[in-house]
Structure 1
C-alpha cells in the first residue's frame, strides 16, 4: 500500500452511480489526490439489509455499478481495496436458499451456524452471557426454513446476515472464491470485515479468541499467495488492538477519532500523546468511516472496568459523547443507539464535521493530526467534502449510520470542492502525499498541556505540525526548494 492518503467510498454515493463515473471523478477533478481507493461493498446486491455488507453473491459486481472489468480498469490507475465479508452470508444467497429448502440433505448443511452446532451439548445461561455482543440481545434468530424446520440461527448482526462456519468445506471454498475473484480483477488489498466474530466456541466469548487469530493467519496467508495485503477491522479495548496489530498486516487506528475529538473539546493533549507513544504503526488512520465514531476503542475494558481503564476517564468519555450530541444540534442523538434501528453499542453516528460543530479550523487541525500520525491515512468520502448529517436519509431509512452516508451527485461534489474548507483539505492531502519527510522519522511532544507538536524528518527534509488545542488552530511548517513554507490551519 502506498504511503499516500487513501479514499474510502461507496461507488454509487460519490459523484455518480457506477464505477465508470467514480473513475472519471478520480482521474478528473480529483486526479492525483488519492493513492488508492477502498470501494465499500460493490457486490450483488448493494441495497440489502446492511448497505452491501450482506451480499447475495460476493463474487459478482452489482450490475447497476458495472462488472469486474470496470474494477480492473480502476485498479490500473489506483490501488484498490475491497471488503471480504468473512463472518456471514445473506439469507437470500443461493447457498442459504438451498439449505433452507433441503435442510440436512443440502450440500450446505453445516455451513450456517445454529445454536445447536455451537453448543451441541446444550448451553447454560452463563454460556450465553459470556458471548461478546456488539448489539443488545441474543446472537440468534428464530427462523422457519422453507422445508418447515424451525432453527435458532446464529446472527451476529441482523436476521438477514447468517453466520457461517468458516472451517466448513463449503465455507472455505466460498471465501477462497472471493479472494480469487478480487485478485483476478486487480484488487491489491482486502479488508476482513467483522472477522473478530468469525469463530464460535462453546463456553467462550466468541470474539478475538486464539482460534480467531489462527483463522486470520491462515486466511491472510492465502490472500498473500494471491498478491493481496490484509487489513483487519476490529473495534475493541485499546490494549487488545495493540496485541492484534502484532499478528496481522494492518489494523485500523479506531482510537484516533475519539481521541482527536477529546483533545480539541477538552483542550489538552495528554490522552492523545499517551496513545501516540504506544499505538501500533502498522495502522490505517481514520477520523470517519461508513460506520459511526467509535467509543469502545478508548473506553475501559467492558470485561473488567476496574482493572483495565481506558485512555480517558469514564466521566470524560461520557461528556465527550454529550458534546458530540450538542455540537451536532442533537442530530447525532437521533441516529445513535436505541434511537435508530442498528443498535451499535460502541459508536456515535454523526459526520466528523458536525461532531466538531462545523468549525472549519478545528476540522482542518483534526485532519492534519490524522495525516501526521504514523500509518496510512484514509479519508471517508463524506469527510472529504466536510459533509453534514443527512437527516432526510436518516428519516427515510431509520438506519442510524445513514446519517453519514449521503448520496452526492457529481454537481454537489464539484460544488463542495470549491468551498474553502474542502479546497484547503485537498491541499493538505497533496502535501501529505508528496512531501518526502513523511517517509522518515516521527516524533511528538507537548510543550504545554494545550499544545501538540508532531514532526517528521528525513535527512534535510522536515514537516512540523504545531497545534493550539484550546484555540483549535494550527500551523504546518515544512521544508521546500526555497527553504521553508507554512500552511496555516484556520
Structure 2
C-alpha cells in the first residue's frame, strides 16, 4: 500500500517547489504525488528508526577494484571478497559509479539507469546488498557528452533539448568558482547551429540545467530506481555547483541548498531509512553549511580531516589538528559527519584554507611530492593556478622509506584516529589494503588521480595481503573496525571532547549516549617513545587506576613514571575501577 502523505509533508514539498520553480509549484506537487510508488518505492514504508549506530562504517570502492578471471564480472568477485573478509567489520559498501561512462573513471555518466556490463548487472548489485548496505553516487551536476540526453540536445529533441546550459561566450564569467583549469564553456555543433555549453569539470562532462523542473523529475525517477535496488546512502556528487546564476560565483547558491533539502524531504516520505550525503570539497565553514538547520544533508564529508591528519603525522605537530577539532561544532540533531582520510579523489587542499598557514600547506605539498605523489590545480579568476588536491595513496603519504614497520604503524595510527572521531567512518579500499602509489597507472592514463585507483586481480591481491605492507595493514585494520563496533561510545552521535595536552599527541574522549561508557582516544603523532606522567586532564581519566585498551584487548596500568607510549601508537582506553 502506498504511504499516505501528511498535509505537513505536502506543504513542505510545495514550499520547496515554490522557491525553486515559482508559479509551477502546484502542478509539480501533483506530479510528485503521482510518482510515489514507482519501482515499488513509497509502498509499505517501514517506520522511521535510528539511522545509524556504532556498527556503521563504509567501504569506498569501485565496482571493478577486484577482478578475477574465474568470475564472470567484477561485482561478483567484489561480493566474494567482501563476504569472506569484511563481514562484521564493514556495514555499507559505497560503489563508486558503476553505470556506463565515458571519462573520469565513472563520473561522466552515459546512462544512470544501467549497470556497466563490464562490471555486471543489477542482479549483482542487489546480491551485494543482501549482505551489506549500499551507497550509490547520485551524479547530479553533469552527465556525459556521449549520453542520449546530450545527443538529443544536439539533435533538438524534447525534453533533453532543454536539459543543458548554452551560454553566450561574450558574457562575463569571471566570478564563477572553478575546480579545474579546463575552459568553462565547450563549443558544440547542434541542429540550431553553434552552441557553447557549460562544462564545469571537463568538455566531456556537460552541466545540467536544474532550473528546468524536467531535470529534477528525471533524477527523482533515478533516485527511486536506486532506492528500489537497495541504496541506503545517496552521495550527492559535486552538488555545490548544481545551480547556475550569471553574476554570482555559482557555488552554494540558495537554490542548491533548497534542492538538497527537497531530496531529503522526498526520502523522509518514501524511504525514511535513507541518508543524504553531500560531497562538497570546499573550506570547512562552507562544507558544514550543507547541514542547513538540521533539514538538509543527513551527513557531510569531513573534508578538513584528511589534510590536517596528514600534516599532523608528517610533522609530529598536532596543534592545527587539535585546534580545529576543539572548535568543531557538533552537527545538528539527526545529522553526522562522514570521517574519511582517503577516497578515489585526492586529498583536498581547499578544506585547510584558514586552518593551515600557507607555509605549512606548502610544506605538506612538498612532502607529498617527495613521497611520489602529484598535485592537481584549479584556475583562479586572475588566470593564476592554485593547488586543488594532492594525489597520492594515504599509505604512501605516511610510509617511511627504509622502515616499513614504522611506516605501517604511522599509517594505522592515522586510521585509528579517524575511526575514533564523532561520525561515521569511510574507509577507501586502497587504505584497507595498504596499497602503494600506482605510478605506472598514472603514466599510462595521464591522469593524476589514477595513482590511487589501482585495479587488483584477486590472486594478485591475495599475494599482496600475505606479505609485506598488505600483511602489516589489512588484518590489523579489520580488527580495529570489528572492535570498534562493540563500543557504544563510538556511536556517531556520541559526544566528543578534545583536549589540548601536548603538541605531539592528539587526545579526545568519546562518551556513550547513556553516559555509561567513556573511551579516551590517545595518539602519538611522532616516531619517538613518549614517557608521560599523565595523558589527559579529565577526572575520569586521572582517577582511574586501570584501563582496558580496546585496540590491544588487554589491561593497561601506569608504571611509576606514568605512561609509556610507543612511536605512532594509538590507544582507545576504557577506565575500569
Query: Are residues 1:71 and 2:119 paired?
Result: no
Query: Corresponding residue for 2:373?
Result: 332
Query: Are residues 1:283 and 2:329 paired?
Result: no
Query: Are residues 1:134 and 2:179 paired?
Result: yes
The match for 1:262 among 302, 311, 318 is: 311
Structure 1 residues 52 and 479, CA gap change in structure 2 (3 angstroms): closer
Q: How does 1:304-383 map to 2 (within 5 A)?
A: 310-326=354-370, 328=371, 331-333=372-374, 336-337=376-377, 345-358=387-400, 359-383=407-431
Any idea what SS the aligned residue of 2:89 has?
A: coil
Query: Corresponding residue for 1:305?
Result: none
- TM-score, normalising length from structure 2? 0.75
Q: How does 1:84-233 map to 2 (within 5 A)?
A: 84-101=138-155, 103=156, 106-116=158-168, 123-124=171-172, 128-145=173-190, 147=191, 149-227=193-271, 228-233=274-279
Any idea what SS the aligned residue of 1:415 has?
A: helix
Any idea what SS the aligned residue of 2:85 has?
A: coil
Structure 1 residues 159 and 295, CA gap change in structure 2 (3 angstroms): same
> For 1:41 and 1:485, how far apart are their aligned partners in 2?
45
In the alignment, is the contact (CA less than 8 A) between 2:483 and 2:550 conserved in 1?
no
> For 2:529 and 2:136, how far apart are their aligned partners in 1?
36
In the alignment, is the contact (CA less than 8 A) between 1:11 and 1:19 conserved in 2?
yes
Query: Corresponding residue for 1:421?
Result: 473
> For 2:150 and 2:239, how far apart are their aligned partners in 1?
20
In the alignment, is the contact (CA less than 8 A) between 1:258 and 1:295 conserved in 2?
yes
Structure 1 residues 412 and 462, CA gap change in structure 2 (3 angstroms): farther
Any idea what SS the aligned residue of 2:474 has?
A: helix
Query: Corresponding residue for 2:59?
Result: 7
Query: Corresponding residue for 2:6?
Result: none
- With 107-116 and 387-396 compared, the bigger mean Cα shift is at 107-116
Deviation at 1:269, TM superposition (A): 1.8
Any idea what SS the aligned residue of 1:8 has?
A: strand
Q: Give the root-mean-square deviation of aligned CA atoms.
A: 2.6
Query: Corresponding residue for 2:82?
Result: 26
Structure 1 residues 483 and 135, CA gap change in structure 2 (3 angstroms): closer
> For 1:460 and 1:470, how far apart are their aligned partners in 2?
32
Q: How does 1:30-49 map to 2 (within 5 A)?
A: 30-45=86-101, 48-49=102-103
> For 2:457 and 2:150, how far apart are their aligned partners in 1?
36
> For 1:182 and 1:225, how far apart are their aligned partners in 2?
16
> For 1:220 and 1:156, how far apart are their aligned partners in 2?
25
Aligned length: 460
Any idea what SS the aligned residue of 2:195 has?
A: strand
User: Where in structure 1 are there 5+ consecutive unaligned residues?
Assistant: 300-309
> For 1:271 and 1:222, how far apart are their aligned partners in 2?
39
Structure 1 residues 39 and 137, CA gap change in structure 2 (3 angstroms): closer
The match for 1:292 among 346, 354, 357 is: 346
> For 1:44 and 1:94, how far apart are their aligned partners in 2?
12
- With 20-29 and 197-206 compared, the bigger mean Cα shift is at 20-29
> For 2:349 and 2:338, how far apart are their aligned partners in 1?
18
Alpha-carbon deviations, 1:3-26, whole Å to 9, x = none? 322100001013544222211111
> For 2:431 and 2:259, how far apart are their aligned partners in 1?
33
- TM-score, normalising length from structure 1? 0.87
Any idea what SS the aligned residue of 1:43 has?
A: coil
In the alignment, is the contact (CA less than 8 A) between 1:365 and 1:472 conserved in 2?
no
Query: Are residues 1:240 and 2:286 paired?
Result: yes
Deviation at 1:344, TM superposition (A): 8.9
In the alignment, is the contact (CA less than 8 A) between 2:180 and 2:377 conserved in 1?
no
Deviation at 1:2, TM superposition (A): 4.6
> For 1:276 and 1:88, how far apart are their aligned partners in 2?
34
Deviation at 1:255, TM superposition (A): 0.3
Q: Which has the larger radius of gyration?
A: 2
Query: Corresponding residue for 2:519?
Result: 463
> For 2:528 and 2:198, how far apart are their aligned partners in 1?
46
